[in-house]
Structure 1
Amino acid sequence: TLPVIMTKTTLKILILILTITTSSCKKELETILEADYKVIEIDYGFDNYKKNIRDNSEQFIIKERNLVIIDVDKNGQIKIKDSFVEDSLIISELKKYIIPNPDNNQMPMTIVGDFEYSGKIIMNKNLMIMAKFNEELDYKKYSGIRNKIYLSFNEARNDFSMEKFNKTLEELTKSTEQNDVMKWRELREIMPIRYTEILGEK
């Protein structure tokens, strides 16, 4: 059964995304009932956000607990997983989900990865952050919130880079050394940015 915390509107949106992006079959319908959702990995700007345009190319199945929903109303008030969050706390709150936490079953599911430079590490399994923006939200507030979402990923990546490689994220990405290039590739695989936006109700 679906978790009680999932609102009817959110459930309709998720099922709509699934319906648009994949063909229906009995197995997929059973997956929905098990609280698994097919969503889109996408990165697009404000114009496409206003038009609610999606790209059908990148898809994967995730569990409900791996889906972090950010709900932003027309005034810029923010809910993350149905809890109100101050604008100044968006980054720290999202990092709780981006940084793997296998001991907390309310956080995204994790798996163990084995890498050449990073070694054996715990990583999230198909974490997706989905922002639902009210269509009356102005661009300045939209852009500020969106930037903080990306900053939360980059801060988590920077923490990992410092811990594992003793280099900041900036040092790693700007380096031309082959070892650093490979470390950066590993880091992107370990902490991929999976983020989608949808247009919410007025």
Structure 2
Amino acid sequence: MTKISLNILLLTLILASTSCKKELDTLLELEADYKVIDLEYGFDNYMRNINSEQLIIKQRNIVLINVDKKGETTIEDNIIPDSLIISEFKKYIIPNPMDDKMPMTTEKSFEYSGKVDTHKNIIVLAKYDKELNYEKYKKIRNKFYLAYNEIRNEFSVSKFDKSLTELLKSDKPEDIIKWQEIRQIFPIRYMESLN
């Protein structure tokens, strides 16, 4: 750079800083309308926030599904034909406080859904034979998710006179809350493994 270029650059910096000094001073005099919170995500923070309550899952709250290499499905040791998988599986994921053989329930209150029986820590464990054809696996697995969606949709229509898709497509904040409530009432806790 030439000497003239350096002088021009230096002059520009001096003029900019002196002309902005007044604005900077007034900005520094203003009180902040926000509060800075120092967050620490270290190991010490982790140790202070360990939840001492254990998650207790009773045996009756575990729904066992087994699928053999031929695609034969058993739910809780009952052989279920393909055409009845959805209806049989729904019996386990619809809260039923009167049946001691079904997963445990608890009553919860929601803003729009009101008081509703929900499952208490239900888990669905699906074991698939590793020799099972992928197309059969996909078809059977989709039936379990379809059962969840049917239950959620039936609940939505009965409580709110709207289908799940109507709630999802709606721009109304209350419809979004209704959708979130349905997800809390019928949570999907589905795990699978290969034998």
Tell me if both proteins adopt one fold, taking TM over 0.5 as the criterion. Answer: yes
Partner residue, 2:166: 171
SS at match of 2:162: coil
Partner residue, 2:183: 188
SS at match of 1:137: coil
1:63 aligns with 2:58: yes
User: Amino acid of the residue matched to residue 154 of structure 1?
Assistant: N
Partner residue, 2:135: 140
Instruction: Tell me, in whole angstroms, the C-alpha distance in 2 between the residues paired with 1:88 and 1:61.
Output: 34
Partner residue, 1:32: none
Moved over 2 A (4+): none
SS at match of 1:62: coil
Instruction: Tell me, in whole angstroms, the C-alpha distance in 1 between the residues paired with 2:169 and 2:138.
Output: 26
Look at both structures and tell me which one has the larger radius of gyration over its CA atoms: 2
Instruction: Tell me, in whole angstroms, the C-alpha distance in 2 between the residues paired with 1:61 and 1:153.
Output: 23
Instruction: Tell me, in whole angstroms, the C-alpha distance in 2 between the residues paired with 1:174 and 1:90.
Output: 29
Query: 1:77-96 to 2 correspondence within 5 Å?
Result: 77-96=72-91
Instruction: Tell me, in whole angstroms, the C-alpha distance in 1 between the residues paired with 2:94 and 2:114.
Output: 17
User: Amino acid of the residue matched to residue 151 of structure 1?
Assistant: L
CA-based RMSD: 1.2
Instruction: Tell me, in whole angstroms, the C-alpha distance in 1 between the residues paired with 2:146 and 2:98.
Output: 25
Q: How many residues align?
A: 142
Stretches of structure 2 lacking an aligned partner (at least 5 in a row):
1-53
SS at match of 2:57: strand
Q: Tell me which of 120, 123, 127 is aligned to 2:122.
A: 127
More helix by share: 2
Deviations 1:109-145 (A, max 9, x none): 0000001000111111111111100000011000001
Displacement, 1:61?
A: 3.5
Partner residue, 2:27: none
Instruction: Tell me, in whole angstroms, the C-alpha distance in 1 between the residues paired with 2:104 and 2:69.
Output: 32
Instruction: Tell me, in whole angstroms, the C-alpha distance in 2 between the residues paired with 1:63 and 1:151.
Output: 25
More strand by share: 1
Stretches of structure 1 lacking an aligned partner (at least 5 in a row):
1-37, 39-59
Deviations 1:148-171 (A, max 9, x none): 010010011011101111111111
1:197 aligns with 2:186: no
SS at match of 1:171: helix
Displacement, 1:174?
A: 1.8
Identity %: 56
Partner residue, 1:97: 92
Instruction: Tell me, in whole angstroms, the C-alpha distance in 2 between the residues paired with 1:151 and 1:166.
Output: 20
Query: 1:146-157 to 2 correspondence within 5 Å?
Result: 146-157=141-152
